[in-house]
Every structure is written in structure tokens, then in C-alpha cells.
A and B are shown apart, each in its own frame.
Chain A
């Protein structure tokens, strides 16, 4: 069965510092991979997605993620964090088009000044 692990429940980063949020998935083939962000009391917004091709994916708000098949990982990065990036981040995976998303349990990002 597919699964998604986000090892870090909570991360605190200083404003202006770089960020990396980890995501590991369990699936036999190349899945569809997503990162979503959720601000407090809000819905989910898609940051970026990976289906195939270039393993480094650019998203909105300056985020990027790299798919590493050998490590079954899809880590999210940002070179310089802004206070407005404080939110909860979810990694998600789907086996193929038209199937449901399986979400990780999320990582809460706090940004310190």
C-alpha cells in the first residue's frame, strides 16, 4: 500500500534562512507527487507537483522540490524563508491519474525573526 512519511512534525527556521522539508513515500513505481501548504484556518493550496521528466520541480512562492527515486524522497526546499511562509505543509502521493491522494501527516513550519 502507498504511504507518505513526513519525519518532521515541527520545524523552526529563522527568517532569511534556507528551508528543507522532508518527504518519503512508499510505492513501487513512480508516483504522482505533490506538496500543499495550509495557512491557519485556511484550505490547501498546491505548491508544486511532479509527474515525470525533470526531477527538480519549481513551484509557486519560490519553492522547489527534488524527486529522488533511489531514496524514495520528494523534499521541499526554499533558499530564503519569509515570515509569511509559516504554515503547515503536506506531502501527498497518488498511484496514477484518477486515484486518490494519500497525504503525509504534515510538517508545521514556524519562522523566527
Chain B
């Protein structure tokens, strides 16, 4: 199993550009989520999904869109990037009665918006 994979690892955008951060998992997990990590702020939930076709907002959803067309993939879209979205983004997944909310994290995407 590859676990949770994220692409790209690094990205630099200009203000106003759009892009999609990719996230995929091969563990057949129902639950997937996106967090952003900023210095001194810990991880904050952006959006999450409890299954294909179902998404919901987290703590800091503004400026981001998500969709969940398959169990495996959960892309995060930045519609019009802003410098405030400079951050490290982590995707996570969890599932199965034995693991409850044990979330498995991807390696992260470091995004810089100029």
C-alpha cells in the first residue's frame, strides 16, 4: 500500500491563479480530510468527506473547494490564490471499525502564493 499520497510536494503560485492539490489513498478509507498547517496555529480543518459524493466544510473553508467522486481521491481546489493561503497542506484519511478516527496523513504540499 502506498497509503496517502499528495501531489505536488511544492508549488509556487501568483495571486489570482488557480490550482488543484491532489490527494489519493489506497486503503479504501471512507473518511478523507484536508488540513492546513501554519506556524503556531497547529492544523486546521479545511474540508472533509465521509464518503464518495459527500463533503462538508471544516473550520477554514473559505477560498477552497472540494469534491469526492471516488473513494480514492479527494482533490482540493484553490479558485483564486491569495497570499493568505501560503501554507503547508495535509491530506488525511481514516476508516474501518478498528481504526476509528486514526487518521493517516500524506507527506504534505508546501504552497507559496506570491
- The interface of chain A, by Cβ under 8 A from chain B, is 9, 32, 34, 36, 42-46, 49, 51, 90, 92, 94, 97-106
CB neighbours of A46 from chain B (8 A): 102-103
- B105, A43: Cβ atoms closer than 8 Å: yes
Query: Chain A residues near B48 (CB, 8 Å)?
Result: 100
Task: Please report the C-alpha to C-alpha distance between residue A98 and residue B48 in the assembled complex, in whole angstroms.
Answer: 10
> Could you list 19 examples of A-B contacts with CB < 8 Å?
A9-B40, A34-B101, A42-B107, A43-B105, A43-B106, A43-B108, A44-B43, A44-B105, A45-B105, A46-B103, A49-B100, A90-B42, A98-B30, A98-B101, A100-B33, A101-B43, A101-B45, A104-B42, A105-B42
**Hey, what's the 0/1 contact readout for B41-74 against A, CB within 8 Å counting as 1?**
1111100101000000010000000000000000
Partner-A contacts on B (CB < 8 A): 30-31, 33, 35, 40-45, 48, 50, 58, 90, 92, 100-103, 105-108
Contacting pair A32 B100 (CB below 8 A)? yes
Min Cβ gap B50→A in Å is 6
* Apart from A101-B101, A103-B35: 7 A-B pairs, beta carbons within 8 A: A34-B101, A49-B100, A90-B43, A94-B101, A100-B48, A101-B92, A102-B45
